[in-house]
Amino acid sequence: MTKLTTHVLDVYSGKPGSGIKVELYYLKNNQKEKKNTIILNQDGRSDKPLLEGEKFLNGKYELIFFIGEYFKNISKSDELPFLDDVVIRFGISNSKEHYHVPLLVSPWSYSTYRGS
């Protein structure tokens, strides 16, 4: 179960955040190393874990959810979005556990937590 997963729920429309691009970075010594880029499926989830096994290390990570593009596409609006890229930085202290980082999002707000 040593893996990192995510999903997005669009609380504005009450649907999964399908088609949202997500990037994962590992942060060390003020450097960012890109580890993965995914597009969320119809259920607002990745088809595979973002990281798993030996590649899943203790340390600080950053997830970037490109939700501005998502809401622009579903609303067909040309306006500058209030929220564009949602950046979540978090720490992994035990890479032998499963970490799940969900995002609940609307065009104006978001929240996250450590899921199971």
User: For position 41, what pLDDT does the model report?
Assistant: 98
What is the pTM (predicted TM-score) of this model?
0.94
Domains delineated in the chain: 3-108 (2.60.40.180)
52-82 pLDDT tens trace: 999 999 999 999 999 999 999 888 777 888 9
User: For position 103, what pLDDT does the model report?
Assistant: 98
13-62 pLDDT tens trace: 999 999 999 999 999 999 999 999 999 999 999 999 999 999 999 999 99
Distance CA 91, CA 113 (A): 12
Average pLDDT over residues 72-96: 90
Question: How would residue 1 be classed by pLDDT, with cut points 50, 70 and 90?
Answer: low
- Indicate the SS3 state at residue 70: helix
Strand-pair partners of 4: 51, 99
Return all residues near 29 (Cβ < 8 A) that are at least 6 apart.
none
